Structure 1
Amino acid sequence: MLFEVLKEGLFWAALGRPSEVMPFLRGKLLGNGFSEGSKRQLEWLLDELQSFYERVACGGRVEERHLRAIKSFHRDIVSVLETEGA
C-alpha cells in the first residue's frame, strides 16, 4: 500500500501538484507514536521525498529513474517502520 501511495505522489508531481499526497503520508507515518529517533528519520525522509516530488514537477513527466527513486524511498521508509516493530 505504501509503495502505491508513493507512486501516486510521483504522478501527481508530474501533473504539477508535488505536495498532493504529502499531508496524507505525514499524517499516517508521523502520527503513530513512534520513538523520537524514528520520527526524526521519517520526517527527514518525508522532507526529502517532498523535494524529490518538486524536482519531478519541474520536469513534468515520470521517467524510469523516478520509479527507481520511489522504490528507494519505499525501502528506506519500510526500514524505519520495521525498526520500530510496526
Structure 2
Amino acid sequence: MLKEGLFWAALGRPSEVMPFLRGKLLSNGFSDNARRQLEWLLDELERFYERVACCGRVEERHVRAIKSFHRDIVSVISSERA
C-alpha cells in the first residue's frame, strides 16, 4: 500500500492514500505510545508523499525511503504485539 501511495504522489495526488492508511493503522486498538508513534510516522509519510508530488516522478531513492517507512511501521506494530 505504501508503494501504491508513492505512485499516487508522483501523479500529483499525495493525499489520496493517507485517509485509508490512517484508518487502517490507527483503528486497531494499539496502546497510546504505539498510536503516537504511528501517527508521527504517518505524518512524516504524508510530508514525504508531498515532496514526491513536487518531484513528479518516482526515483530509486523514493522506493528506498518507502521501504524504510515500511520497516518502521512494522517495527511499531510488532513491538506492540510482542
TM-score when normalising by structure 2: 0.98
Match of 1:59 in 2: 55
Corresponding residue pairs, total? 82
Match of 1:6 in 2: 2
Q: Report how far residue 20 of structure 1 moved.
A: 0.8
Match of 1:84 in 2: 80
Structure 1: give runs of 5+ residues left out of the alignment.
Answer: none
TM-score when normalising by structure 1: 0.94
Q: Distance in 1 between matches of 2:68 and 2:15?
A: 19
For 1:39-58, list aligned pairs within 5 A. 39-58=35-54
Q: Report how far residue 85 of structure 1 moved.
A: 0.8
The root-mean-square deviation of aligned C-alpha atoms, in Å, is: 0.9
**Matched-pair identity in %:** 83
Q: Distance in 2 between matches of 1:69 and 1:20?
A: 19
Runs of 4+ in 1 over 4 A off after TM superposition: none
Q: Report how far residue 49 of structure 1 moved.
A: 0.1
Q: Distance in 2 between matches of 1:6 and 1:19?
A: 12
Match of 1:75 in 2: 71
